[in-house]
Amino acid sequence: ESATKAGYPHFMLKEINEQPQAISDTLLRRIDKNNNLILDDIRLDEDEIQKIKDIYIVACGTAYNAGLIGKYIIENLANLRVRVDIASEFRYNKQFINENTLVILVSQSGETADTLAAQKLAKTKGCRILSITNVVGSSVARNSDDVFYTLAGPEIAVASTKAYTTMLVAFYMIGVELAKLKQEISIEDYHNIVEKLKKLPQKVKETLSVEKKCIEIAEKIKNSKSAFYIGRGLDDSVGKEGALKLKEISYIYTESFAAGELKHGTIALIEKDTPVIAVVTQDKLLDKTMSNIQEVKARGAYTIIITDKHIEDVKNYADDVIQIPEVYDMFSSILAVIPAQFIAYYTSIKKGNDVDKPRNLAKSVTVE
């Protein structure tokens, strides 16, 4: 293992802190001085894109969670129908795929057995295959028509951090480019959105200052038996990644729910001091999520809000607030996940766990 921790106690903390650079490398090298995206590796032209009727995003774990964000971005920007499948389920689900389907495979390592098996099936059906991966020349990359390489650098910690946020960058760029090719957005809007994208590395850097607050929160939740993330839309998808992070390294049973689903069952699990972390970044969903937070607070939950909004009387809803910088709502997930990474990291540390190598897990899962 040639990688070093560069003075950090763990690879995971190093990799969290490397995110501004990883995002900058993945993003800024692909934007020219006139605010055009340069996606050289993706050779889909306007004619080919018109043929694409459906998109399937297929991946596992954190890469799957990134795919959930990708679905939202592509559907809303490019007006294309997108389905996200867990790679290990893909072959057993009813598929509606053919030569008019674009399959986007997402895999940090590019060697995950389930993702490779899905790729094999998609190829036999004649689908166009685009992969998003962090490893040049990996198996998934070698068998794809187009490859978007995330330039995150080696990720050593089992818990994925910078690979996830650079996957989001990939989806943001692909979504914006597809929208342009399909003429779903004007050239002026295209350039404006690219301008917003360019701000992300700096905003991610500013977000790292939430670390201290997350250490305090980790201290409060470290003895909890279970915890929940809630949110709506994109915030629900960020919650899914936050929950995976927390459970895999702190071993606290953590689930993520669409906030509106609480009343259909999950709220029965809320007891005094159960940690509920709400992600609130979407203007149009703000009021609805806030009222869900009130519901759990009234039942004794310890409520934490991760938000980029300035919420009035926030103390009536939240025991703790993690304020992150405000960006274009569509791109807020890349910031909102950072506190979730820190909370997971510090909770694991406080419990004395092996953060970089959690029990029962491998970095790359090469068996089906």
Which residues of this chain interact with ligand AGP, rule CB under 6 A? 60-63, 107-109, 112, 115, 158-160, 244, 248, 364-365
CB atoms within 10 A of CB 45: 9
- C-beta closer to ligand AGP: residue 63 or 324: 63
- C-beta closer to ligand AGP: residue 107 or 333: 107
- C-beta closer to ligand AGP: residue 115 or 144: 115
- C-beta closer to ligand AGP: residue 108 or 207: 108
Strands, E, within 233-301: which ranges? 253-258, 275-280
Nearest approach, Cβ of residue 163 and ligand AGP (Å):
6
Nearest approach, Cβ of residue 188 and ligand AGP (Å):
36
CB atoms within 10 A of CB 299: 16
Largest Cα–Cα distance of the chain, in whole Å?
58
Identify the CA nearest to 72 among candidates 339, 341, 329: 329
First to last CA, the chain: 25
Nearest approach, Cβ of residue 88 and ligand AGP (Å):
10
Q: Which two tokens stand for residue 112?
A: 């995950």
Which residue's structure tokens are 């092996």?
A: 354
What is the rounded distance in angstroms from the CA atom of residue 38 to the CA atom of residue 40? Answer: 6
Residue closest to ligand AGP when measured from CB atoms = 61
What is the rounded distance in angstroms from the CA atom of residue 27 to the CA atom of residue 25? Answer: 6
* Residue pair 278/336 in contact by the 8 Å Cβ criterion: no
Nearest approach, Cβ of residue 150 and ligand AGP (Å):
10
- C-beta closer to ligand AGP: residue 237 or 307: 237
Nearest approach, Cβ of residue 331 and ligand AGP (Å):
21
What is the rounded distance in angstroms from the CA atom of residue 308 to the CA atom of residue 324? Answer: 5
Catalytic site residue 351?
no
Q: What is the DSSP string of 346-366?
A: HHHHHTT--SSS-TT--SS--
Give catalytic residues, as residue numbers: 363
